[in-house]
Structure 1
Amino acid sequence: MRRPLIALLAALALAGCSAGAEGEADAGPAGPADGSGPITLVIGRDTTSYLQPLLDRWNRDHPAERVTLLELPEAADEQRAQMVANLQAKSDRYDVLGLDVVWTAEFADAGWIVPLDRSLFPLDRFLQPLVATAVYRDKLWAVPYTGNAGLLYYRKDLLAEEGFAPPTTWAQLREQARALHARYGIGGYAGQFLAYEGLTVNFAEAVQSAGGGQILSTDGTQVTMDSGRAKVGLDFLVDGFREGWIPSESLSYKEEESRLAFQEGRLAFARNWPHAYGPATQSEIAEKFAVTRLPGLDGPGSSSLGGLNLAISAYSRKQRSALEFIRYFTGLENQRRVLTDGSFPPVWAELYDDPALIKRFPYLPVLKESILSAKPRPVTANYEQVSLAIASSVSNALTPPFEESSGDVVASMRNQLNEIIRAP
């Protein structure tokens, strides 16, 4: 993974400017920023305890550039809040930042992270939708570390009992969910419907899967979702709650609640990320479930892209070591361990086609299809405001007594989004 030192220095000469996308951000800390030495990796809480052994491998080979792991809270919004507080203070405590894929534009625009030299990374061997999440205004600001896409978890034993094939359309999902709810007394379907980022994800997937396009343009300057198709997508969710095959308690579900409901046998279908697969194989439904792509209006749907990217703080004084560490940590062999030791989706395309890995992780082919057909969430420096506006609007539509029509909710949402993206 090592390249000639001159290449790294050239990359850091560019990165050391620490300028934001507009070239007007603060230039970083006083003194040289491209030094080497011990660094700190700041990332969300490691719930599977896989990270430290991977860091230990680096530390054994780089005793003068040891990496210290600093874990932030599990919730993404709390992670962001702590990172932003540090970066706004221009602190050099953080070196490598583990960023949710939706934060790239905001952090780049603010001048909190440095641009990277594309030639230092084998990006052509990564899944390309994941690479796109690290690019903003034609510059690479981070390197993909893990990917993610939503999957439909289903009870294959119950479907077999009723003679159903896994659903590929919303109509099939509705029919099967209603039938299984009535016959077995369990919830038909659930996703993440609490008013938080997860609801934004579920709504974006409904819009895309109804053929409504992306919510914002790729440059984040226009609201581009088709209102009619967005209404169709929202109606799919609203009708599920109104008709009862989406249980009302799922209005409080985040990822963990929906995972537990499915693996405890309380749901026939559940939308969730791949991380829910491993625990389900150790549960009472271990031999009774499978996964497929999310269904859509007329066929397989489109997931929202998830995952984590690694970026370098503009205020780090150890940017040379940070860059080398990112190159190592996103390398092929380490990415294999990200999957085998952490059960997180890797970013290298070839790992999804490895027969030995597929035998151990049977969902890999489906996950690869899901990532390749997935769409990024709205790309904008004001993402947090955009997400809050979407989640709040959709939550109101899904909550009884369903007084506001889906068309009115979508129209109001469009107005809010226009105000946010046009704000100075």
Structure 2
Amino acid sequence: MVRRAVAALAALLVAGCSGMADTGGAPSPGTGGTGPITLAIGRDTTAYLGPLLDRWNRAHPSERVTLLELPEAADEQRAQMVANLQAHSDVYDVLGLDVVWTAEFADAGWIVPLDRSLFPLDKLLKGVADTAIYRDKLWAAPYLSNAGLLYYRSDILKKEHMKPPRTWAELRDEATRLSAKYKIGGYAGQFLPYEGLTVNFAEAVQSAGGSIISPDARRVTMDLGTARTALDFLVGGVRDGWIPREALTYKEEESRLAFQEGRLVFARNWPHAYGPATHSPLAGRFAVTRLPGLNGPGSSSLGGLNLAISAFSKRQKSALDFIRYFTGRDNQRLVLTEGSFPPVWAELYDDPALIKRFPYLPVLKEAILSARPRPVTADYNQVSLVISSAVSGALNLSKPVDETVADLKQQLGEVIQPGG
């Protein structure tokens, strides 16, 4: 059956805490355990983390934090964390978790609950705190938020008297025309078969007015007609050439570099790609907007990163103090100014000085507030693998769109149904 055959992949909230694993008697955060700690987090592609960690280390010489960089791809990050935690290893103290892993890690007993009163949850962007809450307990502290944006060559569009596309039809038309005229790729997202492709497909479905799974992950809600429209938009781009075949190998970093190096007119990516582009030859020649949709602006999947404490850490008090510091307002400002990552504090998006420096902040705030969280399910990794595998087959033109979405709906039903 699909449930047994599908391997682990990265991403989403899970279900149930009655099966909490034995934590080996680890102390509750805040009650003991101090000393040097580690931060296990995805690879820092913008080199912003070092200076931020140095600030903590200078002020806390006996509780220095060591950065343990995991792979760039979320799937690979999760695999390494899971291997460590299943072994009850105390190597990781603070975990940088994709927002979709909160429930899974809590359910497995790999992280410990936090005291809500220690964190200013009411000052965060609407919906962001929910990604760290599971069964009415706070399991992590929101650190970064995220929503997909459409990067575009503003210089080329201005020269051609075109406006940024708001619909798929406009994107298809502009990408086709400009790709041919300027001899560069028209559009790319994250189309390698991994969690990024699941996100890109989910965004296409919801930008066409549909959904894939109910928020509680108990029903497959994917309408075949809507899913067909969404997938055909992407497949048609590959078939017709305005999505280059090379894009089928792209993760976030590959698509960032392709756009930044002037090889694309349009690209879907997260906000972190903005900062590096402003320090590249493309500076002043690009801009961002909301993702386009079927009939107007589309909707992103809600992304982000939360900081949690390993249940097997022997220095949980230091870990808690570090998380409180690292998710505080002053550090959140640096997350934006030094790393170009979306902070979780709402007030920073309305700061005139920051808006002057980062003109895309109002668009980003709108994108985050209109983004949709992925379903809360213990089977999300299986769900994601089924989706990315099916969509990849269609994008490679090896399976018809109609057959792909029909099979996908059936496979999803087998994954989320008890006994599937």
Give your verdict on TM over 0.5: yes
- Give runs of aligned pairs for residues 298-337 of structure 1, distance below 5 A: 298-337=295-334
- Give runs of aligned pairs for residues 8-407 of structure 1, distance below 5 A: 21-30=16-25, 32-33=27-28, 34-38=31-35, 39-213=37-211, 215-400=212-397, 403-404=399-400, 406-407=401-402
Q: Alpha carbons of 1:267 and 1:56: their partners in 2 closer, same or farther (altered >3 Å)?
A: closer
1:129/1:375 contact within 8 Å kept: no
Are 1:416 and 2:416 matched, yes or no?
Answer: no
Q: For the residues of structure 1 that align with 2:171 and 2:115, how far apart are their CA atoms?
A: 45
Q: State the 1:154 CA deviation.
A: 0.8
Q: For the residues of structure 1 that align with 2:182 and 2:54, how far apart are their CA atoms?
A: 49
- More divergent stretch after superposition (149-158 vs 68-77): 68-77
Q: For the residues of structure 1 that align with 2:315 and 2:258, how far apart are their CA atoms?
A: 45
Q: For the residues of structure 1 that align with 2:26 and 2:236, how far apart are their CA atoms?
A: 59
1:73/1:79 contact within 8 Å kept: yes
**Count of aligned positions:** 402
Partner of 2:7: none
Q: For the residues of structure 2 that align with 1:171 and 1:422, how far apart are their CA atoms?
A: 37
Q: State the 1:53 CA deviation.
A: 2.5
Q: Structure 1 unaligned segments of length 5 or more: list them.
A: 1-19
Q: For the residues of structure 1 that align with 2:323 and 2:48, how far apart are their CA atoms?
A: 17
Q: For the residues of structure 1 that align with 2:84 and 2:417, how far apart are their CA atoms?
A: 27
Q: Structure 2 unaligned segments of length 5 or more: list them.
A: 1-14
1:36/1:65 contact within 8 Å kept: no
Q: For the residues of structure 1 that align with 2:268 and 2:314, how far apart are their CA atoms?
A: 42
Q: What RMSD over aligned residues (CA atoms) do the two structures have, in Å?
A: 1.8
1:145/1:346 contact within 8 Å kept: yes
SS at match of 2:127: helix
After superposition, give the CA deviation of every residue in 1:331-390 in whole Å (9 maximum; x if it has no partner).
Answer: 100111111122211110111111111122221111111111111223322222111110
Relative contact order, CA 8 A, sep 6+: which one is greater? 2
Q: For the residues of structure 2 that align with 1:52 and 1:59, how far apart are their CA atoms?
A: 10
1:216/1:379 contact within 8 Å kept: no
Identical counterparts, % of pairs: 72
- In the alignment, residue 17 of structure 2 is paired with which amino acid? E
Q: State the 1:249 CA deviation.
A: 1.7
Partner of 1:15: none
- In the alignment, residue 383 of structure 1 is paired with which amino acid? Y
Q: For the residues of structure 1 that align with 2:259 and 2:38, how far apart are their CA atoms?
A: 37
Q: Alpha carbons of 1:157 and 1:47: their partners in 2 closer, same or farther (altered >3 Å)?
A: closer
Q: Alpha carbons of 1:323 and 1:173: their partners in 2 closer, same or farther (altered >3 Å)?
A: same
